[in-house]
Structure 1
Amino acid sequence: MERFRLSFCNAIKLDDDLAEFVVDEGVEFNLARVEEYHAWIVAHLQSPYLLLVHKVNAYHYDFASQTALGTLPGIKAAAFVVYSHISELTTQVMLSMPRDADWVYRIFNNRDDALIWLGTQRECHAQAVSLEGKF
């Protein structure tokens, strides 16, 4: 497990394809931060990417970042861990924004369940790749 500091969050590389992000309290996500986030993913993880966003702090998104966040090609799945009803609602609103992204996501109330789900997403991808090779 490796820890990294971005300008707005802590990133923890949990595996070659999996990272956890904890955004700082009060941050406004904007396009520059989305680009920094995506650049970190490309530089430190192997595709397809699995992301765990630990929403322990309150922060918000500007409109442009809502539609750009998660559009990085190669994102397989993202799990969002929330601790309040408000955090869950704001996450749902952000995720409902139209975007060019081909990934799945789920919202959880605890980290362990989120990591288990991300593991199943990894296994599903591995099985799909294995089946492609047989045809």
Structure 2
Amino acid sequence: MERFRLSFCNAIKLDEDLAEFVVDEGVEFNLACVDEYHAWIVAHLQRPYLLLVHKVNAYHYDFASQTALGTLPGIKAAAFVVYSHISQLTTQVMLSMPRDADWVYRIFNNRDDALNWLGMQRESDDQTISSTEKF
């Protein structure tokens, strides 16, 4: 496990193709953040990429970042761990934005379930967006 500091979050490389991201409290996630996030993924992970976004802190996305986030070619699956109903709703809104992306995602309320699901996605050839877990 390797830890990295980006300008807006901590990135933890959990495996060659898997990383966890914890965005800082109060961040406005914008296009510069998206570019830095995608560049880090390309520089540190092997394709296809598996991502865990651990939403322990409160932050928000500007509109441009909502449509650009996750459009990096090679993202196979992303799991979002949320701890409140508001966090789940904001994540669902962000994920519902139209984008050119071919990856699956799911929302969880605990990290272990999210990591287990990402492990199953590693072995899967499915490229269909999954429904979210009930919170």
Q: TM-score, normalised by structure 2?
A: 0.92
- 1:23 paired residue number: 23
Aligned residue in 1 for 2:53: 53
Q: How many residues align?
A: 127
Q: CA RMSD in A?
A: 1.3
Question: What does residue 86 of structure 2 align with?
Answer: 86
Q: Which runs of 5+ in 2 are unaligned?
A: 127-135
SS at the partner of 2:7?
coil
**Structure with bigger gyration radius:** 1
Equivalent residue runs for 1:72-83 within 5 Å: 72-83=72-83
1:32 is aligned to 32
Counterpart of 2:9, as a letter, is: C
Deviations 1:5-40 (A, max 9, x none): 000000000000000000000000000000000000
TM-superposed deviation, 1:60: 0.2
Q: Deviations over 1:64-116 (max 9, x none)?
A: 00000000000000000000000000000000000000000000000000000
Where does residue 6 of structure 1 map in the other structure?
6
Secondary structure in 1 matching 2:87:
helix
Structure 1: tracts of 5 or more residues without a match? 128-135
Q: Which residue does the alignment assign to 2:117?
A: 117
Q: For residue 96 of structure 2, what is the aligned residue in structure 1? A: 96
1:14 is paired with a residue whose SS is strand
Q: Which has the higher helix share?
A: 1
Which SS does the other structure have where 2:124 is aligned?
helix
Letter paired with 1:98: P
Helix, strand or coil at the partner of 1:80: strand
| 1:124 shift after superposition | 1.1
Give the alignment's TM-score, normalised by structure 1.
0.92
Q: Which amino acid aligns with 1:79?
A: A
Structure 1 runs (4+) deviating above 4 angstroms are none
Residues in 2 aligned to 1:3 and 1:61: alpha-carbon distance in whole angstroms:
24
Deviation at 1:51, TM superposition (A): 0.1
The aligned residue for residue 105 of structure 1 is: 105
